[in-house]
Structure 1
Amino acid sequence: MATNSTIVTGWVPEPEGRGTFGILRSCIMTLVLCVYTALHLNIPAPNLTAFAACMRKGKWVLMGCFAPELVVFVAWCQRRQATRLLGQMREVPGDTYRLWTMTHSFYATMGGFVLNTAQEGQDPYIPGSPRLYLLPEGTAALAKMGLLPPVSKDYILDKSNADGLAKLIVVAQSGWFTLQLLTRWAMKLPVTPLELTTMAHAVCALATYFLWWEKPLDICDPTVVDGEWAAPVAALMWMFSRLSSKRFGSRLGGNSSRPLAECDDIYWIDDPRALLDTLQPHPLASYEDTSSQSVSADHVMLFDLSRGSAFYRKLLPDDSTSRQYPYPIRLDRVTLRRWELFRQCIRDFPELPSLLKRATVTSPMEHICPPLDPSGPVLHALRDHIRTVSGGPGMCGVEDIQYNYTTRILRNLGLELLIVLVVCALAYGAIHAAAWNDHFPSGHELVVWKTSCVYVATCGPVAATLWLVFFSDAVLDKETIKGEIGCSGNHWFWISWIQIGLFFLAFPAAVFYVLARIYLVVEAFVSLRSLPSGAYSSTEWTQYLPHL
């Protein structure tokens, strides 16, 4: 019972206004949730130490802090891969993969299916015997051959550490923060630079969550794809992928800077002895392989090999116009074992190379390098003498490390990816540019803010466009372009000088880009020292919405 001296009241609204600490607290809470919890990284390498795992996560947290739109771009690329894989899996006949979902596709694209190349009691056939992660092309190929083990969605979700409630909290907080700022603009109330920066991260977090909603979180143990067929398939995929180019590098002394896969220019022939005269010791290579052992008698019948020998081969037999390929091929025990498995895979699964072929990325530079004429003299001679089973680095079914982002995206940058990158960069810069005429502690800070906004919004799209025009695969494959469509040397002379000039400009441009990024984040906090009084007025009705 209340006494006469007790003053009681009913409903009391929140105090009007907000303080500097309130602004700082809500922004930091939103930034932490948006940056850290929105990250859905791919499966890490095996035996990753705790320190390496922290560094791996920390690198992406820093990117989320200073370049959140790039995280959105990566998420969009991964969802694009998963969507394509989902379409390919639905084309697989039968009911084995009928229940395949986007969760399955994300699980596969993040490295959920692996081939173990280290087999106990068997000779190694891949240098270092790494674990090979199946890429979407490899996953779809194995599924079409009925070799991919079916897994349920519940099996994947049991491995995932995703929490639906945690996702809901982040989405609700990001949505509340964005709605609050839109309300302040509608009420003509000042918005602080820190709130603009936080809003940019909130919008990016919402987009990232939408793109990664079905992607499992923090899975460490992938599904091992095993069987008697696994070693031959792994050998073929490795030889057809860019992994083998890390061992062979680019063509030495040639005009092409493209990676060289081990399966390039490997042919099946009816009579191996017919090509003996095209195999010659390589004068530029001198390999010493202490792990090599004596070559079996079957191979000695074809070549007089010594331990660690290196050879090169002409393109075609009995062709005086054929150039000699100036790259060496090392023949050791590991290589011969891999080639034997490669032969076995072609014999047992002749359809696998065609299943691994990826669709060509369409780009504005496509007209520079059109496809070869099937009726041309070179391919006609190939058809007469040999049966081609070549793939090249354009075919990629496996990877030894499941990267969250690879330079293949830039190497194969097409118009669609370029548009997405431009939209992400412009959106991030436009949000910060909303403070174009707002109050800043000094005029110099406002000028630098404007400059940074414009530079961040335009630098990425301009760099991507220049990469597309001057550094795409079509442009870099100069040997193919010059030899097959007859581009003039003067044309490539000027392109080479432009490329050199762009390389020199790239370093200072990248430095200024990083500085502009850092300035936008740092200035957002520093500007709290001087704000207009209206910035401390609050929007009452948004305070009643659930938020942190």
Structure 2
Amino acid sequence: MTLLLYTILACIAFVSASLPSLNGTSVRTLDASDCPSCNTRTLWDIIWSCGVTLFACTWTAVHTNVPGMDEKAFAITSRRLFTMVMALIAPELMVTWATRQFFSARAAAKDFNDEIGAQRAKTQGDHQVISEATVQSLGEIEKSSGSPSGPKPADFTVWTATNGFFAWMGGFMLYIDSKPHATLTPPELLHFVHEGYVDMPIITEADIEDRSKGDGLSKGIAILQLAWFVAQLVARYVQNLPVTLLEIDTLAITALTCIAYCLWWKKPKDVRRPYVVHWKATASPPSDLTYEKVESEDSGVCCLPYFFYLADPFVSLMGIDAYVSPRATRSHRIPSLGGYGDYHNMTTLFLGCFSGMVFGAMHCLCWNYSFQSHTEQWRAASLGTACVPVFLFINIGCSIWLVDMDSGHGLIMIIAATISSFIYIAARITLIILMMLSLRSLPPGVYDTVDWTRFVPHF
């Protein structure tokens, strides 16, 4: 959606710049057709390069959660495109989401390994009491009776971060009476395993990677495209050639996308089917699972439905809350932007704010850009984007460490954080608008291409 908007606005700007002005003169830019021997590029070349880089990086970096079992390809693709648009609009929040999932996956792997170790220790203690002959006789009786038996602790494999990611992204589906009931969170699955309601799922990291659709070709193409894009910008800087604001914004988005991609390195990609866990206990099935509950349409949080639905994706990415929609519950899946626990909040907050600061600082690289007018300079917006995350980190950190949130001081900090968030959003929107306006008339040197022969030593 955002890429399409970039292309449409840029094409309009290019056409309007080529039309004669009111005084009879025309603004004519240099094109490759005017001078075949000249090394030039067009506005469409710039937009195409930025668009391909953004699409390649976001398509490869975004690791979606497990979809519903009966969902069609259109619904799955639509949610993936929506997540990509969120990565373009708020890349710093994608880093926050990836950070929360990273810490949640590590915590889940540790908890399940502790449970596996406890079950193995218990089994070894029981074996010390039962003689070998008794074990053989029990095995013969079990084999002759044909009664099903659950997995033995010796069969359990050590959980890795990949297993933890798979669990948090909706990889385990609870079945009751051979029918899908709800997706289990890792704490819920661990509780049921500990109580003996379900068997410990035996799925190795290799099994999960086999379900993953990520391949080296797509990753390699994305890395090559990004490397080529960065190399061109560096070469233009070395040869004192100007760059466009669109290219700087693309560089900032891809830089943050790469951070999220590193955090998601062990997360399975495009898994379509969950692992089935059967309810085997005689006790009543659970009725308060996290992803079984449907938010009421008449709840107080929906008093402002339009504002709520607009803010919900950003709130989910920040990890404040993940709205479980009725559609997600009916499809037996977790929210598109959910799938995380409450772990290492301060570290997650720091990485999210640091990403926002880096994002704004990279836009400050165009501090001396030749803007058309003083009002179109984006220095204030760049500084606001870079400085507001620092204030948010200090403000929220102090509210967590020092202040009781029920007191008046806590309320003041909440108001300050809300105002700062709106300032950051306004600065980000301003950057996008000024970036589009800058395409109306670019400096002449923008259309010059890099002379790569200058980097080759001559003898």
TM-score, normalised relative to structure 2: 0.64
Q: CA 1:59–1:185 in 2, change beyond 3 Å: closer, same or farther?
A: same
Query: Do the aligned residues in 2 keep the contact of 1:66 with 1:518 (CA within 8 Å)?
Result: no
Aligned partner of 1:108 in structure 2 is 167
Pairs within 5 Å for 1:35-434: 35-48=58-71, 52-53=75-76, 55-91=78-114, 92-93=116-117, 94=120, 95-117=154-176, 119=177, 131-141=181-191, 147-229=199-281, 235=286, 238=288, 402-406=334-338, 414-434=345-365
Task: For 2:454 and 2:56, locate their aligned partners in 1 and report how far apart those are by CA, in whole Å.
Answer: 19
Letter in 2 for 1:60: T
Query: Do the aligned residues in 2 keep the contact of 1:174 with 1:205 (CA within 8 Å)?
Result: no
Tell me by how many angstroms 1:19 deviates: 2.9
Tell me by how many angstroms 1:116 deviates: 3.2
Query: Do the aligned residues in 2 keep the contact of 1:190 with 1:532 (CA within 8 Å)?
Result: yes
Letter in 2 for 1:536: Y
Letter in 1 for 2:357: L
Give 1 or 2 for the bigger CA radius of gyration. 1
Task: For 1:143 and 1:473, locate their aligned partners in 2 and report how far apart those are by CA, in whole Å.
Answer: 38
How many residue pairs get aligned? The number is 349
Letter in 2 for 1:137: P
Query: Do the aligned residues in 2 keep the contact of 1:413 with 1:472 (CA within 8 Å)?
Result: no
Please state if 1:19 is matched with 2:70: no
Q: CA 1:231–1:417 in 2, change beyond 3 Å: closer, same or farther?
A: farther
Aligned partner of 2:306 in structure 1 is none
Query: Do the aligned residues in 1 keep the contact of 2:53 with 2:225 (CA within 8 Å)?
Result: yes
Q: CA 1:134–1:158 in 2, change beyond 3 Å: closer, same or farther?
A: same
CA-atom RMSD in angstroms: 4.0
Letter in 2 for 1:96: D
Q: Which has the higher helix share?
A: 2
Task: For 1:454 and 1:103, locate their aligned partners in 2 and report how far apart those are by CA, in whole Å.
Answer: 38
Tell me by how many angstroms 1:36 deviates: 3.1
Tell me by how many angstroms 1:469 deviates: 4.7
Tell me by how many angstroms 1:110 deviates: 0.7
Q: Secondary structure at the match of 1:218?
A: coil
Task: For 1:509 and 1:45, locate their aligned partners in 2 and report how far apart those are by CA, in whole Å.
Answer: 37
Q: Secondary structure at the match of 1:59?
A: helix
Q: What does the per-residue CA deviation read over 1:477-523, in whole Å, with 9 as the maximum and x for residues that have no partner? A: x5xxxxxxxxxxxxx3x247537x818x83x6655543432332343
Q: CA 1:99–1:190 in 2, change beyond 3 Å: closer, same or farther?
A: same
Q: What does the per-residue CA deviation read over 1:419-442, in whole Å, with 9 as the maximum and x for residues that have no partner? A: 111211111111111111211222
Tell me by how many angstroms 1:46 deviates: 4.7
Aligned partner of 1:452 in structure 2 is 381
Q: Secondary structure at the match of 1:441?
A: coil
Structure 2 residue ranges without an equivalent (≥5): 1-36, 121-153, 300-328
Query: Do the aligned residues in 2 keep the contact of 1:41 with 1:404 (CA within 8 Å)?
Result: yes
Aligned partner of 1:440 in structure 2 is 371
Aligned partner of 1:33 in structure 2 is 56
Kindly indicate whether structure 1 or structure 2 has the higher relative contact order, using CA contacts under 8 Å at least 6 residues apart.
2
Tell me by how many angstroms 1:473 deviates: 13
Tell me by how many angstroms 1:524 deviates: 2.6
Q: What does the per-residue CA deviation read over 1:398-455, in whole Å, with 9 as the maximum and x for residues that have no partner? A: x97523545987x877321221112111111111111112112222111xx1222222
Q: Secondary structure at the match of 2:155?
A: coil
Q: Secondary structure at the match of 1:149?
A: coil
Structure 1 residue ranges without an equivalent (≥5): 1-13, 121-128, 251-398, 479-491
Q: CA 1:231–1:444 in 2, change beyond 3 Å: closer, same or farther?
A: farther
Tell me by how many angstroms 1:199 deviates: 0.7
Query: Do the aligned residues in 2 keep the contact of 1:418 with 1:464 (CA within 8 Å)?
Result: yes
Letter in 1 for 2:93: L
Q: CA 1:415–1:497 in 2, change beyond 3 Å: closer, same or farther?
A: closer
Task: For 1:88 and 1:543, locate their aligned partners in 2 and report how far apart those are by CA, in whole Å.
Answer: 57
Q: Secondary structure at the match of 1:37?
A: helix
Please state if 1:538 is matched with 2:449: yes
Report % sequence identity: 29
Task: For 2:282 and 2:230, locate their aligned partners in 1 and report how far apart those are by CA, in whole Å.
Answer: 50
Q: CA 1:526–1:209 in 2, change beyond 3 Å: closer, same or farther?
A: same
Query: Do the aligned residues in 2 keep the contact of 1:177 with 1:202 (CA within 8 Å)?
Result: no
Q: What does the per-residue CA deviation read over 1:296-329, in whole Å, with 9 as the maximum and x for residues that have no partner? A: xxxxxxxxxxxxxxxxxxxxxxxxxxxxxxxxxx
